[in-house]
Amino acid sequence: MSAVTESLTVQVRAGLGEWRLHAAVRALATRHPELSDATSSARHVDHHDLSRQTALALTAAESRAAALQVVWLDGGTEGRLLLVARKDVLPTLPWHVLLPELVAEWKAVTPRVPARVG
């Protein structure tokens, strides 16, 4: 782990919803100015390779300098959410605040309903 970041990994269900995750991270960035450069991404990976992909995602996230990065690793039957935050963000927005707010924002996003054709 980098000297300037900390990370948190949370097991999540499959099918988390990439667009809902992006919307939730954008909402957090809007609410908290210190997260203005927050990013989110999703990767579809083999569930047998989740540990390796988590380590690779962590290494990649640490090389960026964003205040908060959220990476969803979708393993099909299970998934992981990797959160990487700069240490200067965590005194004002610790994990016990960030994670519940992210979950609340994700839940607040209205699921998309496919448009009916014809």
pTM: 0.85
Q: What is the pLDDT of residue 111?
A: 67
Q: State the pLDDT confidence band at 17, using cuts at 50, 70 and 90.
A: confident
Alpha-carbon gap, residue 74 to 40, rounded angstroms: 13
CATH level 2 (architecture), domain 5-108: 2-Layer Sandwich (3.30)
Q: What is the pLDDT of residue 112?
A: 63
Q: What does the pLDDT look like over 51-61, one tens digit per residue?
A: 898 899 898 88
Q: What is the pLDDT of residue 115?
A: 60
Cα separation values, 99 from 38, 47, 49, 83, 92, Å: 14, 23, 24, 9, 13
Specify the amino acid at residue 102.
L
